[in-house]
């Protein structure tokens, strides 16, 4: 079975970026053992980052 590469080396996780069935069913991005919830986790992260950058700019 051919493997995709990570940093120019064959890696068992590489091809998992193309398998996003759970994005359709659960709104979750998967890559290897990592997962990111696009519907819940990402919006929370976006709000936190946005607020941080606004505060940082205001305090500069």
| CA distance between the termini of the chain | 53
What values do phi and psi take at 9, rounded to 5?
A: -125, 140
Please state the closest distance from residue 54 (CB atom) to another protein, in A.
10
Per CB under 8 A, which of residues 14..53 are in contact with another protein?
Answer: 14-15, 17-18, 20, 23-24, 27, 29, 31-32, 34-36, 38, 41-42, 44-46, 48-53
Please state the closest distance from residue 48 (CB atom) to another protein, in A.
3
- Does residue 12 touch another protein according to CB under 8 A? no
CA max distance for the chain: 54
């Amino acid at each position: 079975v051919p493997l995709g590469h990570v940093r120019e080396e064959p890696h068992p996780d590489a091809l998992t970026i193309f398998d996003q069935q759970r994005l359709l069913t659960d709104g979750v991005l998967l890559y290897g053992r990592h997962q990111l919830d696009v519907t819940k986790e990402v919006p929370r992260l976006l709000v936190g980052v946005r607020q941080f950058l606004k505060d940082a700019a205001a305090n500069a």
